[in-house]
Every structure is written in structure tokens, then in C-alpha cells.
Structure 1
Amino acid sequence: MNSGMAFAPIVLAANSGTKAASKELSIGIDGYFQYELFGQKLYFTNTHISILIVMLILVIFAVVANQVIKRADPNKAPGAFLNFVELLVESVDKLTISTMGEKHGPKFCNYIGTLFAFIFLANTSGLLGLRPPTADYGVTLSLALITFVMIHYNGFKYQKIGHITGLFKPLVLSPINIIGELATPISLSLRLFGNVMSGTLMMTLLYGLLYKPITLFWPGFLHVYFDVFSGAIQSYVFCMLTMVFVSGNFEEE
């Protein structure tokens, strides 16, 4: 009886500690205010805020780059910022054309460059104290569905009805072919979501469990992997798979 009474405060203390920690740690999607649209109740969440900030950064960068390019003197050596912009553009163009071919690649350079910039900045937005938008499955699924539409649009454009009949060759493997096509957006979205969400979860738990003074310097090097390195790799993988899947439907040269 005494041991049971002694055990009860320990359980209560553990539960209260868990509740306190759960209040401090936020690894989910938090809604800030609710509004109604077409009879549906919707929420403005931290994902929306992060997306707006990421888009604002991209727009500001694009406007500044445009002005720098317009004012550049062709008779003078370009500055550091202009060299950086040229390096980005040339790298994206080279990667896209080498993957999708010289005939079709140039048409997709702008989209792939924009896609890479958005995903990379979204993945690394944790460095700004934001919850990465790509840690929300709704965002990654939307990006994967855009790729899915592009795949089949180009399939019908270049292969016509053969894009459908090809799924039934050979007939015995047609169920596997159909499931494989339908699984494309799911695998794309889950791969990006899982990697970003796992990094966000680990960093959130780490900051919540450590003493505040220690969090000012010790976990910083982990951001290099979870935000910068992993974010760049996942951006590259998503864009590369998009190019490979879409270019697989072009007509053969």
C-alpha cells in the first residue's frame, strides 16, 4: 500500500512533465485563425505563413536579379551577385538539357529552376526559425500532382493513344503497370515529406530537451545536415525524378 502511494506521485509528475513538454514542443501544423470559404471551414496555419515568406524571398530575389541584369554593363566585368545568378541559371540549364535532351530540355528549364529554388528554400527555411512548408504533406503532394499531370500531358502529347495502350503490354503485367503509374505522385510526395519531417521532428525535440543556453550554439552544426545538406539533396532528387518521368514520355529520336 505504501509502495503504491509512493508510486502515484511519480506517475503524476511524469504525466505533468509530459504535458508541459508537449506545450513547449510544436511539431504539428498550428492553426492561427479560422475562416469560411464556400461553406467549408478552413484554417490559416504556420504552413501558409512559411510559404508566403518563401515566396516573398523568391520574388524579391527575382526582382533584384532582373534589375542587376538590366543595368549590367557588357563592357565591364560582372559583379559577385551577377556571377552568382549566372552560375545558377547555367547550372540549371545544363542539368535540365543533359537530362531531358537538347530538343525538349530548354522548354522545362524555367520550371525546373523555379521548382528547385522553391523546394530548396522551403527545406532550409528552418534556418529562419520557420516550420518548413515541405514538412506538410499537403505541400509535397501538391508538387507531386503537378509532376503527375505533366507526365501524362506529355505522354498524350507525344505518344497519343499509345500512352494508354502501353500500360497493357504485356497484358499480364497491366495491373502492375497501372499501380506503378498511380503510385508515382505518392512516392514522390512521401519521399520529400518523410525526409524533411524527420529532420524537423529531431531538431524540435532536441531544442525542447536541451537547456536554453546550450541551444544557442550546440545544435547549430546539425542544421548543416538536416536543413542545408539534406534539403539540397531532396530538392535535387525531386527535380531529377520529375525530369526523368516527364522525359520518358517524349518520342524517341
Structure 2
Amino acid sequence: MEGGFGPRVIFELPGGIPVTETVTTTWIIMAVLTIFAFVATRRFDKVPKGLQNVIELLVDMVYKLTAQTMGEDKKAFAPYIGTLMMYLICANLAGLFGFRPPTADVNTTMALALLTFFMIHFFGMKRKGVGTYLKGFLQPFPVMLPLNIIGELATPISLSFRLFGNIVGGLIIMNLLYGALAGLSTNLGIAIPVFQTGIPAVLHLYFDVFAGVLQSFIFAMLTMVFVSGAMD
């Protein structure tokens, strides 16, 4: 969608395929994370120091969080959960650097939610067996089958719109605030929008930093809870 609060089309690929700022910002985030991973892990010492200390601390925290949330037998999910959290944090904080957060596009949040959805059912069937897993939809009574199916289909919708709503809501509020402050400067006869300097910083701290990191953590936690619940 172009115009309004939707992502702008940056350029078009051959065949008229539009590439929006959601995609280009995601490419930038991928490049930054890839470069960071290369630089941070290219030289590890037996006795950690400096950046290696930070990296090992973060990795240890992710593994402990995964084990505490999903169980010791599911620590293999830690690399995915860590990658998911790193991407979401970077995506949600993109607004601080003048980019439109990719998570302010429902296509991004729905794609991530669908990954969680497929993981829930794939690993549930893998752990319990297809027949046993599908029989769970008949619990506690067979008549509950339609409601159980609707409940499962609601999972990716609720996951995606929770994240999307929080991020795009903050984006809209900040855009409205900047517009109002620019109008205030104009009405007072000030050519430079001086009120846009400093005043929005507090709201940026909340919407971009606090809410962004919090929503990243919530999405990752819900992913772990849903997947582990399907496997247990």
C-alpha cells in the first residue's frame, strides 16, 4: 500500500513487482545482523574478554530462557528464538534511525506468526505422532472439534495483529505528533520546526524502545509457549 501510513514503494523489479520500504529495511537489518555475527564470532578466545563476553552472556541468557519456558529437552529451539528476538528488536527500533519499522507492516507480522503456527503443528505431530496429535482436537468432547480448529486458526491472527497493532499505533501517533509540532511552528511564524526537536524524544523512548523491546519479548515468549504446549 502506498500513501497514508502504509509502506512506500521504493522501486520496482522487472515485471512490475513493487519493492516497499518494508522489504528494503528488512534487507538492511539482515545485512547488519550478518555483519555483526561475522565480526562478533570470527575470533573466540578460551578466556573471553570484551565483545566475546557480551556475546556469550546473550547466548547463555537465550538458552536459559528457552529452557525455563519450554523445558530442558527443547533447548534446541534457542537459536531460532534468539534470531527471532534479534530481528524483532532491530525491526521495532528501526524508527529511531529514520526507517519505517518492518513490523508496522502486517505482511511481516503475519509471516512471522505463520512460522510460529506451522512450528506448533509440525513439532506437535512430530513429538506425539500424527494420529495422537489430531485426536487432541476432539478433546474434551468430539463436539468441540469446530471450536478447537477455530482456536488454532486464531493463533497466528492474534499473534500478528498484536505485534502489528502496537508498532503501527506508535508510528501513527509519532507521525501525528510531528505534524502537529510542525503546524505549531508555522502558526507561530517560525520558519524552522523547532518544536520537533527534543519534545518527541520522550515518546520515542516509549513507543520505539520500551514498547518495541517489550513486544519482541512477548512475541518470542508466546512462540515458545505455544510450541512447547503442542509438544507436551
TM-score scaled by length of structure 1? 0.82
Q: Quote the residue 2:39 is aligned against.
A: 64
Residue by residue, what CA displacement relative to the aligned partner does 1:116-163 show, whole Å, maximum 9, x if unpaired?
Answer: 000011001000100000000000000001111111101110111111
**AA paired with 1:99?**
T
Structure 1: how far apart are the matches of 2:168 and 2:101?
8
TM-superposed deviation, 1:53: 1.3
**AA paired with 2:77?**
F
TM-superposed deviation, 1:71: 4.4
Partner SS, residue 28 of structure 1: coil
Mark the structure with the bigger radius of gyration.
1
Mapping of residues 38-187 of structure 1, within 5 Å: 41-67=16-42, 70-72=43-45, 74=47, 78-79=49-50, 81-104=51-74, 106-160=75-129, 161-169=131-139, 170-187=141-158
Between the aligned residues of both structures, percent identity stands at 47
Structure 1: how far apart are the matches of 2:181 and 2:28?
28
Q: Quote the residue 2:189 is aligned against.
A: none
Over aligned residues, Cα RMSD in angstroms? 1.5
Moved more, 202-211 or 178-187: 202-211
Residue by residue, what CA displacement relative to the aligned partner does 1:184-237 show, whole Å, maximum 9, x if unpaired?
Answer: 111100000000000011111111221322212111111111011001110011
**AA paired with 2:78?**
C
Equivalent residues of 1:54, 1:122 under 8 A apart: yes
Q: Structure 1 pair 167/216, CA: closer, same or farther in 2 (3 Å)? A: same
TM-superposed deviation, 1:97: 0.7
Equivalent residues of 1:154, 1:246 under 8 A apart: yes
Structure 1: how far apart are the matches of 2:143 and 2:121?
22
Gaps of 5+ in 2: 183-192
TM-superposed deviation, 1:36: 4.5
TM-score scaled by length of structure 2? 0.89
Structure 1: how far apart are the matches of 2:219 and 2:181?
33
| Number of equivalenced pairs | 218
Q: Quote the residue 2:161 is aligned against.
A: 190
